A and B are shown apart, each in its own frame.
Chain A
Amino acid sequence: MTEQPTSCPDILALTAYAAGACDDFTRAQIARHCATCDACRKRADALSVERSDFLAAHPFERTVKLPQHKVIPFPAYRVVYALAAALLVATGIGFYYSSRTPGTDTRMKGEVRVTLFVQESDGSAASRADNVFHPGERIQFTCSSGPNTRLALLSVDDSGRVSTYFPPAGDSAMAVEPGREAPLPNSIVLDDYIGRELYVVVLSRTPFSAGAIDRVIRDAYARTPDLARLSPDPGPGFTVRRVLITKTARQQ
């Protein structure tokens, strides 16, 4: 019995095939088609050659510069289970994460809420009432917001050093998923700095520049170096949430 010819895959499918990214079934299907279709075989071959030429000329280790702070996403399913567990714990003990600690502000008025979790040694996510963390720990911010929200996340430490976490590249604030407790795309591995660090989450319904927020934070620090009282104000149209943490060396 003659096998019925399949229709030609489009450029998106062929490119995914040449990228080696397809699942086994799709790859076998496209390979079978290319065996009987000259045009698609030539296109797929050309894409494969383009890919190998590119990797030879632009190898990963010489071409891509990853952000300085290790920014590594939680596996998605672990975040879902970990967040569920953490929320249950928080509800059970009537826990308000850092809301009553001077200098922190994580329980929000209105529709915007930012929460901070840390990955414990057993892989679960937890919140810490005392906001004390250690270098090397991995923290994850979640955000509850409405539609069309853009976000930038920066930090300033006691020495006045300002770091930008989101957006991880470029200057434009990134769009966030609307909804409750949506985790930001990547977690943050805390560096070796010992002392206090103020995380500033800035949200707006309109696009804005992370560089501009960086300047706002530096100006605020110049006026008020005490992180507990530092309150950056980007102006109308912005919502600002602050989370103050303390990093201490691990007890041996």
Chain B
Amino acid sequence: MTSAEIARIYEQYGFVIFGRCRRILHSEDDARDALQVVFLRLLECGSMLRDPERVVSWIYRTAQNHCFNVLRDRKKFDTGVDPDELARDPDSEQRLDARQIINLALGCHDRRVREAVYFTYVEELGQEEIRKITGQSPATIRRNLRKFDRSLLELRKRLGDG
């Protein structure tokens, strides 16, 4: 692969990788680091590069997996809130926004629930699109979303939120 070909692949797909990484990591610097890793992995993909939709699907899945691993390794689910402290302080005016609640709940679930939740609520994709990216059937996606919704309800009750 020549430098020109590598540059062309970057110009086509770089924004897709960076966009996914920035959504999860909430940091331009971290997203740039993740872009480097995921882009170099993309270059290894050989013949898959001839199928653009497969490439985009691969990027969605790989960027998400990589970035969640980064977050987990750094023990950094960006809540800005200690849920146990909040529960002890009934007068606290702090309220969790949707992103913080998702991050809290995601720490408790497996990869498949996390994927269903992330692509549904953060990327706002349809179930058929999620199926293409993750391989989960629409029924499995719905089941995993229900699992997450139940845990979210329990968490809200515990925090006295909503």
Contacts and interface: CB of A to CB of B under 8 A. Distances in A.
Contacts of A66: 6, 40
B13 interface: yes
B129 A168 contact: no
A169 B41 contact: yes
Contacts of B128: 10
B138 interface: no
B12 interface: yes
Given A10-B128, A11-B129, A73-B46, A20 B39 contact: no
A54 B1 contact: no
Interface in B23-43: 32, 35-37, 39-41, 43
Nearest to A13: B53
Interface stretch (A55-63, A96-104, A105-113): A55-63
Contacts of A126: none
Interface range for A: 20 to 34
B96 interface: no
Nearest to B13: A19
Contacts of A5: none
A12 B52 CA distance: 9
Given A12-B56, A185-B44, A55 B39 contact: no
Contact of B18 (A10, A54, A67, A72): A54
A58 B14 contact: yes
B56 A67 contact: no
B94 interface: no
Interface string B56-73: 110010000000000000
A245 interface: no
B2 to A, nearest CB: 7
A51 B14 CA distance: 8
B11 A60 contact: yes
B52 A55 contact: no
Interface string B96-127: 00000000000000000000000000000110
A220 interface: no
A12 B13 CA distance: 12
A61 B133 CA distance: 30
Contacts of A54: 14-15, 18-19
B7 A60 contact: yes
A53 B7 CA distance: 16
Contacts of B92: none
B152 interface: no
A65 B36 contact: yes
A64 interface: yes
Given A63-B32, A72-B2, A76-B46, A16 B14 contact: no
A66 B47 CA distance: 20
A21 B40 contact: no
Contacts of B35: 58, 63-64
Interface of A: 10-13, 15-16, 19-22, 47, 50-51, 53-55, 58, 60-61, 63-67, 72-73, 76, 168-170, 174, 185-186
12 contacts: A10-B132, A11-B125, A22-B52, A53-B15, A54-B18, A58-B35, A60-B10, A60-B14, A63-B32, A72-B2, A73-B1, A174-B44
